[in-house]
Each structure stands twice: as C-alpha cells, then as structure tokens.
C-alpha cells in the first residue's frame, strides 16, 4: 500500500482548505485544468486515490461545478470527483 502521508515540505504550498481523495468513479484519471472550463488547458492528470487539497473556492461553469485545488498542483477539478455534492 502506498504511503499517502504528506511531508512537511509538500505542505508549504497548501493554503488550508480540506484534503479530499480523487475518485472519478471509474478507471479514468482526473484532469486538472488551468481555469474552471471544459476547454481550459489540462495542466495535470491525477489518478484515483490521489490526495488533493481543496482551497474552498468553488464555481459553476460549462454545466459543471468546479473546485479549486492547490495540492499536489494548483488548478481546477470537477467538484464531484472530490466528493462534493451540489
């Protein structure tokens, strides 16, 4: 089993918020986008089971609810992938 404990140096970029686990509901990985839109550039891809820190900023765009994350990369992810129900 992979160690998901965060190291002190990894936490330096985290601005508080709430840690959630990426879960797409199937075998696909989660796209992290530069801004909350389906046509926004994908800046990273996170596999299921990855710990992500939600900053607490949410928005609605392109028919989806989006959550901003700042760990392990700063960007936007569909809120449902982090377990947020709207």
- Taking only the tens place, the pLDDT of each residue in 11-68 is 555 567 899 999 999 999 999 999 999 999 999 999 999 999 999 999 999 999 999 9
Asked if the structure places residue 40 within a domain, the reply is yes
CATH code for the domain of 44: 2.30.30.40
Q: Count the domains in the chain.
A: 1
Residue 54 forms part of a structural domain:
yes
CB atoms < 10 A from the CB of 47, how many? Answer: 11
Is position 11 within any domain?
A: no
Q: Residue 15 half-sphere exposure, CB side, CA atoms within 13 Å? A: 9
Residue 5 Cα to chain centre, angstroms: 17
Residue 41, helix vs strand vs coil:
coil
Boundaries of domain holding 23: 16-82
Q: Is residue 72 part of a domain?
A: yes
Where is pLDDT greater, at 75 or 12?
Answer: 75
Q: Answer yes or no: is 64 within a domain.
A: yes
Query: What is the reported pLDDT for 15?
Result: 61
């Amino acid at each position: 089993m992979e160690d998901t404990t965060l190291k002190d140096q990894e936490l330096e970029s985290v601005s508080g918020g709430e840690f959630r686990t990426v879960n797409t509901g199937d075998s696909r990985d989660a796209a992290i986008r530069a801004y909350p839109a389906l046509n926004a550039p994908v800046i990273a891809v996170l596999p299921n089971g990855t710990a992500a820190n939600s900053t607490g900023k949410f928005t609605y765009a392109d028919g989806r609810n989006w959550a901003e994350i700042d760990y392990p990369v700063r960007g936007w992810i569909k809120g449902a992938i982090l377990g947020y129900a709207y």
